[in-house]
Amino acid sequence: MATRSKAVTDVSNQNYRYQPSIEEQMAIVVKRVGEVANMVPKSPLYWASIELLAKDEVSRGIFYALPHECKLHYLKRKTKASNEQEKEPTYY
């Protein structure tokens, strides 16, 4: 009987895969968007891209799989957002 228990434990250990937390997954999204060539930080495109990839797993997978030179174009097509830097509001 001890042999069977060990076999069950071994099988369940082989099937275990580490699943990153939602925070870890979103940190990767933010990092990858920030690495896109010619992406303007704080632009509407930057923020829309993060939101798109955070919400849509299929779009995220496509984005990750694309060659680097296609990523900006893909995000522009998907979000239709501007890549011009926004001015941050001033609060008094």
Instruction: Give the C-alpha separation, 4 to 10, whole Å.
Output: 10
What per-residue confidence (pLDDT) applies to 5?
Answer: 55
Strand, helix or coil for residue 48: helix
Dmax (CA) of the chain: 73
Q: How far is CA 80 from CA 32, 51, 83, 85, in A?
A: 19, 13, 9, 15
Question: What are the boundaries of each domain within the chain?
Answer: 36-83
Quick check: 16 pLDDT over 80? no
State the amino acid at position 69 in one-letter form.
Answer: E
Q: What is the pLDDT of residues 61-89, one digit of tens each?
A: 999 999 999 999 999 999 999 999 888 77
Q: What is the pLDDT of residues 19-47, one digit of tens each?
A: 999 999 999 999 999 999 999 999 999 99
